[in-house]
Amino acid sequence: MVAWEKLPKEMQNDTVKVYYDLLKKRKVSLALKRCFDIFIATIITLVLLIPMLVISVAIKLDSKGSVIFKQERITTYYKKFYIYKFRTMVSNAEQLGTQITVSDDNRITKVGKVLRKFHLDEIPQLFNILKGEMSFVGTRPEVERYVKVYTDEMLATLLLPAGVTSLASIKYKDEFELISSAEDCDDIYINKVLPDKMKYNVQALKNFNILFDIGIMFKTFFSVFVKEAEDTAKNDTKKALIIAEDARSLILTRKELLLSIMDAGISIDTFLPYDDYCEELKAMGIKVIDVPFDRRSTNPFNDIKLFFTYKKLIKEKYDFGITYSIKPNIYGGIAMRKKSIPYYINVTGTGSAFYKGGLLKSIIEILYLPSSRHAGGLFFENSHDRDTFVEARLCKKEKTYVLNGAGINTSEFLPENYPNNHIKKILYIGRLMEEKGIEDLYPVIKDCNDKNKDVVFEFLGEFEDTYKESFEKFLQLKNVIYYGYQNNVRDYIKNCNCLILPSYHEGMANVLLEAAALGRPLLASDIPGCREAVMDGVSGYLFKAGDGVDIKEKVNLFLSLEYNQMEKMGKESRKHIEDNFERKDVVNNALGVIGVKTEIGKSNKTGHGRNTVRV
């Protein structure tokens, strides 16, 4: 190995140094690897001389152009070299399309299809091996434009020669089929396929020895020439793992996503605390595994126990996993990473710890690192939360995706006639706690009460921690009604004149989307996760979070409107949701990132007998 100081600057980072020191201790294995490559490559070259001649003639007879295709790639220590392959495409293929090849690519020749199916086009790489540019086993060499998007950890793969095969090559031996229906092949490859392949390649560095290489070569032979039928059967029984903190949220906000995944012929297992909503998940055909935990607990021993529980329960090789909320994101993500399962994190909100800052925020950032940096993608519900993670170096921006919350199924949430209430109803739905800005409402409500204004304030939701005692003063006012927790909130929204949410922080306030979809004006804090749902002055009013004076002004401004003005606001609210928050669009975007989108509608094994979102 070259001295650390002589490595390209791109590779001189702390992550690469870990792998560099590891390989430096295995000099004997490195020497054996090179001797093995030369010996085996020489024998195979001599054996295949006549088959190579036959293939060369077939290529010449099939189409115009050279027999050998050469392309500049990157190998050990970021060195450039020309990889050799039998030409399988028309001679000007690179001028006609992308450098990524898909399954139905019309640039592939007739002979080329046969060569690609059995990987015979790779035979000339024997000469790359003899020249020392490649090895039998190693990370497949990429063109420079793809190497430039490598993360620090991915760059560690350049410490060893590029390879003809690897565990990643076996897993993705038909990768062109995976991206064949993608609108942007390069985007899918860079953001989905490449990161997944690199997880296997990086793991191979940790396990490096000559016996491991020989094992990969046998697996490659078995995979290419023996296992075709088995792989086909396996593709018919794909599985996904969903880890969340409660079934209720999955049903209310992710039901269409779950059904669409199943509609692609992918079965789903879920890890979450058991509650009544789990029965509905089971009725959908989803397997539920009870994993109880306290989402509010800060006991480190409970969290460690949760991680080991997740890891122990992951007994199958899932095709991908999705996590929701902080603890599943952290501990579920790490567990799936340990099991080499591609996973995607949903940050439904950064939570009070990020809002308040301090020591707890620093602890959570440290806990997030092992899962967030290695996730296949991170979904955020607003750009502010995404930027918070990027600035904290918890992930790279190119791996993040900002969705419009969970969206709303507007075919289920149909607009309701606007109520002509003599006494106006302003409704709050959510947890009753200080961070939702409840205390800021008190002086506003008391002022309306003292002035005998024709308005009543209704509250729906559970109390958080010890806030019930603080809320007692609200109940002393005659214009306050508390209904407690309610499963079905539609009737309450239908009968209200507007919905109010004075929260300090949100991911994307789903209750605002629901109320707007039903055609109700919104009064909300001017913060990320709320402001996106409101067209200020058109579909409602935004006020400064924590500013009682501004809240009072906007409440009074709304109450001063005529009936037809309030009704028009409600209609604008509905239109804003239709234009920007349609759930099927959110589902479509999410599935595209995960790589399921191209399979929707192709499976013949849907059989759900339910109305699903087709995307």
Lowest mean pLDDT of 102-116, 307-321, 341-355, 414-428, name the range.
102-116
Lowest mean pLDDT of 50-54, 172-176, 266-270, 400-404, name the range.
172-176
DSSP run (H or E) holding 322: strand 320-324
Mean pLDDT of 345-350: 87
Give per-residue pLDDT as tens, 284-330.
889 999 999 887 777 888 889 999 999 999 988 899 999 999 999 99
User: From residue 454, how far is each of 104, 424, 448, 524, 549 by CA, in Å?
Assistant: 67, 6, 8, 21, 20
- The percent helix, strand, coil of the chain (3-state, each to 5) is 50, 15, 35
- Give the type of residue at 84: Y
Residue 202: pLDDT over 50: yes
Q: Is the torsion defined by CA of 98, 104, 108, 113 positive or negative?
A: positive
Q: Which residues contact 261 (CB under 8 A, 6 or more apart)?
A: 240, 268, 591, 596
Question: Over pLDDT 70: what percentage of the chain?
Answer: 89
CB-based contact 505:349 (threshold 8 Å):
yes
Give the E-state strand segments of 145-230 in sequence order.
Answer: 162-165
- Give the type of residue at 129: I
Cα separation, 242 vs 233, whole angstroms: 23
pLDDT the model gives residue 105: 59
Cα separation, 111 vs 465, whole angstroms: 70
Q: Which residue, among 351, 566, 592, has the nearest Cα to 464 in the 3D structure?
A: 351
Q: How confident is the model at residue 601 (pLDDT cuts 50, 70, 90)?
A: very low
Q: Which residues contact 369 (CB under 8 A, 6 or more apart)?
A: 394
Cα separation, 541 vs 524, whole angstroms: 7
Q: Where in the chain is the domain with CATH 3.40.50.2000?
A: 237-407+583-599, 424-580
| Residues 450, 455, 459: CA angle, nearest 5 degrees | 100
Q: Which residues of 433-463 are buried (b: 16+ CB within 10 A; e: fewer)?
A: bebbbbbbbbebbbebbeeebebbbbbbbeb
Beta bridge partners of 543: 525
Give the E-state strand segments of 11-122 in sequence order.
Answer: 68-74, 80-86
Cα separation, 293 vs 325, whole angstroms: 13
Report the CATH superfamily, name and number, of domain 237-407+583-599.
Answer: Glycogen Phosphorylase B; (3.40.50.2000)
Per-residue tokens: 122: 């790779």
Q: How confident is the model at residue 204 (pLDDT cuts 50, 70, 90)?
A: confident
Q: Judge: domain 424-580, CATH 3.40.50.2000.
A: yes
Any idea what DSSP says for residue 592? Answer: H
Q: Which residues contact 163 (CB under 8 A, 6 or more apart)?
A: 134, 135, 136, 137, 138, 139, 140, 141, 169
Cα separation, 491 vs 522, whole angstroms: 17
pLDDT the model gives residue 173: 65
CB-based contact 394:365 (threshold 8 Å):
yes
Give the E-state strand segments of 49-116 in sequence order.
Answer: 68-74, 80-86
Q: Which residue, among 472, 438, 464, 432, has the nearest Cα to 551 in the 3D structure?
A: 438
pLDDT the model gives residue 511: 94
Give per-residue pLDDT as tens, 495-551.
999 999 999 988 889 999 999 999 999 999 999 999 999 999 999 999 999 999 999
CB-based contact 85:125 (threshold 8 Å):
yes
Beta bridge partners of 74: 80
pLDDT the model gives residue 96: 53
Cα separation, 368 vs 488, whole angstroms: 34
pLDDT the model gives residue 614: 23
DSSP string, 216-263: HHHHHHHHHHT-HHHHHHHHTTEEEEEE-S-HHHHHHHHHHHHHHHHH
90 CB burial (10 A radius; 0-12, 13-18, 19+): middle
User: Judging by DSSP bridges, how do beta strands 287-290 and 162-165 pair with one another?
Assistant: unpaired
How far from chain centre, in Å, is Cα 30? 37
For the chain, first and last CA: distance in Å?
50
Cα separation, 346 vs 521, whole angstroms: 28
In whole angstroms, how large is the CA radius of gyration of the chain?
Answer: 29
CB-based contact 198:169 (threshold 8 Å):
no
Q: Helix, strand, or coil here: 404?
A: coil
The better pLDDT of the pair 135, 605 is held by: 135
Give per-residue pLDDT as tens, 126-181.
999 999 999 999 999 999 999 999 999 999 999 999 999 988 887 776 565 555 44
pLDDT the model gives residue 600: 39
CB-based contact 512:428 (threshold 8 Å):
no
Q: Which residue, among 404, 405, 329, 406, has the nearest Cα to 374 in the 3D structure?
A: 329
Give per-residue pLDDT as tens, 234-245.
445 689 999 999
Calculate the average pLDDT of the chain. 87
pLDDT the model gives residue 554: 96
Q: Which residues of 569-578 are buried (b: 16+ CB within 10 A; e: fewer)?
A: bbebbbbbbe
